[in-house]
Amino acid sequence: MDERLTVRRQTLPGTAGSTWERQVMKAFIVDRYGRGGTLRADEMPEPEVGEHDVLVQVHAAGVNPLDSRIRNGEYKLILPYRPPFILGNDVAGVVVRVGARVRTFAPGDEVYARPDKDRIGTFAEFIAVNEDDLAPKPQRLTMEETAAIPLVGLTAWQALVEIAELRKGQKVLIHAGAGGVGTFAIQLAKHLGADVATTTSAANIDLVRRLGADVVIDYRADDFETVLHDYDVVLNSLDNETLKKSLRVLKPGGKLISISGPPDPAFARELGKPWTLGPLMRVLSHRIRKAAKRRQITYSFLFMRASGDQLREITSLIDTGIIKPVMDRVFPFESTNEAMAYVDKGRAKGKVVVKVK
Instruction: Determine the pLDDT at residue 12.
Output: 34
Cα gap 200→12, rounded to integer Å: 54
Domain 151-301 classified CATH 3.40.50.80? no
The total of other beta-carbon atoms located within 10 Å of residue 69's CB is 15
Confidence of residue 22 (pLDDT cuts 50, 70, 90): low
pLDDT at 21 (0 to 100): 62
In this predicted structure, what is the pLDDT of residue 273? 84
If one compares 306 and 10, the residue with the highest pLDDT of the two is 306
Question: Is it the case that residue 54 has pLDDT exceeding 50?
Answer: yes
- Report helix, strand or coil for 242: helix
pLDDT at residue 119, rounded to an integer: 94
Residue 88: pLDDT over 70: yes
Residue 86's pLDDT is 98
Ramachandran sector of residue 165 (left: φ over 0; alpha: ψ -120 to 50; beta: rest): left
Report the pLDDT value the prediction gives residue 272, as an integer from 0 to 100: 85
Q: Quick check: 185 and 200 in contact, CB under 8 A?
A: no
Top-tier CATH class for 6-147+325-355: alpha beta
Q: Where are the beta strands (DSSP E) in 46-90?
A: 53-63, 85-86
- In this predicted structure, what is the pLDDT of residue 77? 82
Name the H helices within the chain: 65-72, 143-147, 150-157, 180-191, 205-211, 224-227, 240-246, 265-270, 278-284, 286-294, 308-319, 336-344
Residue whose C-alpha is closest to residue 153's, from 309, 330, 332, 263: 309
CA 148 → CA 6, 60, 151, distances in Å? 32, 9, 8
**Range name among 63-77, 145-159, 266-280, 310-324 with the lowest pLDDT average:** 266-280
Structure confidence at residue 133 (pLDDT): 98
pLDDT at residue 270, rounded to an integer: 87
**Residue pLDDT, tens place only, 186-214:** 999 999 999 999 999 999 999 999 999 99
What SS3 state is found at 355? strand
The residue count for the chain: 357
pLDDT tens readout for residues 144-182 = 999 999 999 999 999 999 999 999 999 999 999 999 999
The pLDDT tens digits for 124-133 are 999 999 999 9
Over the chain, what is the mean pLDDT? 92
Q: Give the global pTM.
A: 0.92
Compute the average pLDDT of residues 32-44. Answer: 93
Confidence of residue 315 (pLDDT cuts 50, 70, 90): very high
| pLDDT score at 76 | 87
pLDDT at 16 exceeding the cut of 90: no
- Spatial separation of the C-alpha atoms in residues 272 and 251, rounded to whole Å: 32
**Whether pLDDT at 5 is above 80:** no
pLDDT tens digits for 92-124? 999 999 999 999 999 999 999 999 999 999 999
pLDDT tens for each residue of 251-300: 999 999 999 989 999 988 888 888 888 898 999 999 999 999 999 999 99
Rounded Cα–Cα distance for residues 177 and 185 (Å)? 8
Domain boundaries, the chain: 6-147+325-355, 151-301
3-class secondary-structure state, position 94? strand
What mean pLDDT do residues 37-55 have? 96
Which of the four pLDDT bands, split at 50, 70 and 90, describes residue 6?
Answer: very low
